[in-house]
Structure 1
Amino acid sequence: MIKIVAVGKLKEKALRMQIEEYEKRLRPFTKLEIIEVPDENAPQSNSEAENEIVKDKEGERLLSKIKDGEYVILLDLWGEMIDSIAFAKKLESIQIYQSPNITFVIAGSLGPSKDVVKRADYRWKLSDLTFTHQMTRVLVLEQIYRGYMIQHHNPYHK
């Protein structure tokens, strides 16, 4: 099973439609669950200490949705960047040797709390580019789908 736990609500209709499309495409391969947790107000005027409080509150919400035994992949600017083929192999290896349940965590705009980083089994950096958190959901789903296509030797990857 694949689970995505993300801070904030997805509001853009076009992105929701893309997510629905990948949900449909993933059905033959895995069960998919997407969980949204509320975000905290984080004005630009916040101090560093106030931002840490925001990250901690969001982090507690994220962690409450993760069960023991789930393998956690944190989307993280300081994570490892890998290509799609390596990602497909990683997905397969995790589900065979570590846990059939993989949870992808997308933290809020300030990044993950220390506790969320500590809980992560793997920290994955999608790109050096910056994406909205909503767009990140679509990109993660597309890469998961691409991973399954690679595993099944499907020409989608080309």
Structure 2
Amino acid sequence: MQKITVLCVGKLKEKFYLDATAEYAKRLSRYCKLDILELPESRLPEEPSPAQIQQALDAEAAAITAKLPKGGALVALCIEGTPCSSEEMSRKMQQLAVSGKTQLTFLIGGSVGLSENLKRRADWKLSMSPMTFPHHLARVMLLEQIYRAFQIRQGTKYHK
């Protein structure tokens, strides 16, 4: 059974995000061992300087690195990543599993993104869209796409 960790910067507070996350976690429990780890987001002033943003990214990267599961593949969600279709994501996840990388860790940064060091470390840089989404919504979207990837692999009618 594939192990999937979604490592997120920022905590969900809104009930609708929590409910959606719980629903996809329940659905995914049939296909993988899912861990969702939340790390605190660095506090920034209303108009942070580039140095303050970099300091926050560095602090968040250190917290992420400390929680990374050993081995497997690291997937960074970032705007400069490669977009892919649901079918392509399903194939990529399957290819990683077949190649022995049964542990997949998806990184979702906070409101200022992910550090360049983490992006360089990633085995796969994934862009959900060229549009900007709240990172809390990105978590729900990612979980749905992971679920869809398993459904595609199984050949169910979920993916039309």
Tell me if both proteins adopt one fold, taking TM over 0.5 as the criterion: yes
**1:130 is the counterpart of 2:132:** yes
The TM-score with structure 1 as length reference comes to 0.97
Shift of 1:43: 2.0
2:92 to 90, 93, 107: 90
Q: Any unmatched runs of 5+ in structure 1?
A: none
Residue identity matched to 2:154:
H
Q: Deviations over 1:85-132 (max 9, x none)?
A: 000000111111041000000011111112211221110000111111
The TM-score with structure 2 as length reference comes to 0.95
The residue aligned with 2:20 is 18
Shift of 1:54: 0.6
The residue aligned with 2:72 is 70
- The more displaced of 110-119 and 139-148 is 110-119
Count of residues paired in the alignment: 158
Q: Assess if the C-alpha contact under 8 Å between 1:70 and 1:103 holds in 2.
A: yes
The residue aligned with 2:36 is 34
The residue aligned with 2:111 is 109
- Give me the whole-angstrom Cα distance separating, in 1, the residues matched to 2:120 and 2:100: 18
**1:140 is the counterpart of 2:142:** yes
Q: Any unmatched runs of 5+ in structure 2?
A: none
- The more displaced of 84-93 and 109-118 is 109-118
Runs of 4+ in 1 over 2 A off after TM superposition: none
- Give me the whole-angstrom Cα distance separating, in 2, the residues matched to 1:98 and 1:124: 20
- The DSSP-based 3-state class of the residue aligned with 1:115 is helix
Q: Assess if the C-alpha contact under 8 Å between 1:71 and 1:98 holds in 2.
A: no
Q: Which has the higher strand share?
A: 2
- Give me the whole-angstrom Cα distance separating, in 2, the residues matched to 1:22 and 1:137: 10
**1:45 is the counterpart of 2:55:** no
- Give me the whole-angstrom Cα distance separating, in 2, the residues matched to 1:137 and 1:42: 22
Residue identity matched to 2:46:
Q
Residue identity matched to 2:67:
K
